Amino acid sequence: MATLPTSDRLLLGPGPSPVSARVMQALAAPARSHLDPDVLDLLDDVRGMLGRVFQAPDGNLSIAVSGTGTAAMDAAAMNLIEPGMTVLAIVTGYFGERLAQVFARSGAYVERLHVEWGRSVDPALVERALIDARFDVVAMVHGETSTGVRNPVEAIAPIVRRREALFVVDAVTSLGTIPVDVSAWDADIVYACGQKGLGAPPGLSPITVSPRARHASPTCHSYACDFDLLEAFWVRRQYHHTISSPLVYALHTALTELFEEGLEARWARHQAAHDALVAGLAGVGLELFADPPHRLISLNAVRIPPGLDEKAVRARLLTTHGIEIGAGLGPLAGRIWRIGLMGSGATLANVDRVVSALAEALGRKRPK
């Protein structure tokens, strides 16, 4: 029979990210039911803090859906789409394609704007697509986890608004690591997850929804994801589902840590960790896959040297050094490693540890 893990591992893959000792302690707080006054008070705090981390307008509904980021993605589609609606999905990698598939499953006609993996989307291409055809929804990923690319949401947002389409943004790997400004973007639905930049364990996924999006469809095709029912639970205390109280404790604590640090200080810490990783990798002959202007600092796609057994390197990092990094997906399988520096994991000490481990696994010396 399998047993529970007893040794620590440093999680530097694409997610989940490391969980701080304080958040781990929160998980062990005394049990409460999902309708206990103590839990409901925490949910009020979480709503307020999520609105702040999203930088969302006052009129938005900011909550967390039960499940990982894919559940939040489902919620976005199921609440927006009526069969026959048209969606422009901007696909710059694996998760842009998943976004397109989720909207298609909800009954929408989806047209994909394909971009080469490893590059960000050119706003001019989006503008051209919106001139050529009318779309009800434009959906895109801010930080593409599969390629380590940041897309220019801030430049695309006004283009979408001029065409009067609803705007959906996946901020799963960007929230809490780089600026996410829902008010400035005038976005309709932006969703994320708890287990990356926010530093909570998987299981609750933040989402913020504009009043415009709330009125887009008269019917949600999912009971579990219905924003009206979720608002009734989060705001008016009406039973909807059994939310995990330990995960509420953890998300509340992770958000508290975030605001104690400060949003701008947190973004600066992630930038410093990224810069140190780039320099450290260069010192052992490794480089990032994405070009500098398009790099996502929280998820670093590292080019694998030709002829290398990349699985053996990842296995050595895991078994010898206790460090997990991610493999490539889709057409980038075998071509990149993915190193996540998110939440409490984005530290200079962790950068030094992973670079040293890679140097040892590759038989290379680090410069002094």
- Residue 238 sits in a domain whose CATH number is 3.40.640.10
Same domain, 137 and 196: yes
Same domain, 157 and 223: yes
Q: β-pairing, 61-66 with 204-209? A: antiparallel
In a domain, 315, yes or no: yes
pTM of the predicted structure, to 2 decimals: 0.97
In a domain, 57, yes or no: yes
Give the pLDDT confidence score for residue 365 in this predicted structure: 83
Same domain, 240 and 278: no
Give the pLDDT confidence score for residue 327 in this predicted structure: 98
In a domain, 116, yes or no: yes
Same domain, 175 and 287: no
Give the pLDDT confidence score for residue 147 in this predicted structure: 98
Q: Which residue has the tokens 């900011």?
A: 62
In a domain, 2, yes or no: no
In a domain, 1, yes or no: no
Q: How many whole angstroms separate alpha carbon 323 and alpha carbon 221?
A: 41
Of 188, 150, 185, the residue nearest 292 (C-alpha): 150
Give the pLDDT confidence score for residue 221 in this predicted structure: 84
What letter represents residue 321's amino acid? H
What letter represents residue 195's amino acid? Q
Same domain, 154 and 43: yes
Give the pLDDT confidence score for residue 92 in this predicted structure: 98
Same domain, 274 and 166: no
In a domain, 150, yes or no: yes
Polymer length of the chain: 368
In a domain, 127, yes or no: yes
Query: Could you say which of 225, 244, 260 is where a domain stops?
Result: 260
Q: What is the pLDDT of residues 22-66, one digit of tens each?
A: 999 999 999 999 999 999 999 999 999 999 999 999 999 999 999
CATH of the domain at 274: 3.90.1150.10
Q: How many whole angstroms separate alpha carbon 229 and alpha carbon 241?
A: 10
In a domain, 4, yes or no: no
Of 26, 69, 94, the residue nearest 176 (C-alpha): 69
pLDDT along the chain (368 residues), means of 10: 94 97 97 96 98 97 97 96 94 98 96 97 97 94 98 98 96 98 98 98 98 88 94 96 97 98 98 98 96 94 96 97 97 97 98 97 85
Same domain, 346 and 241: no
Give the pLDDT confidence score for residue 217 in this predicted structure: 78
With b for 16 or more beta-carbon neighbours within 10 A and e for fewer, the 308-346 pattern comes to eebeebbebbeeebebbbbbbbeebeebbbbbbbbbbbb
Same domain, 108 and 208: yes
Mean pLDDT of the chain: 96
Q: How many whole angstroms separate alpha carbon 110 and alpha carbon 102?
A: 10
Same domain, 57 and 176: yes
The total of structural domains in the chain comes to: 2
Same domain, 332 and 205: no
**Which structural domain range is residue 355 located in?**
10-16+262-362
Query: Could you say which of 236, 260, 284 is where a domain stops?
Result: 260
DSSP strand E in the chain: where? Answer: 10-11, 61-66, 86-91, 109-114, 137-141, 143-144, 149-150, 166-170, 189-191, 204-209, 299-303, 323-324, 326-327, 336-340
Same domain, 226 and 297: no
Query: Could you say which of 213, 240, 260 is where a domain stops?
Result: 260
Same domain, 205 and 241: yes
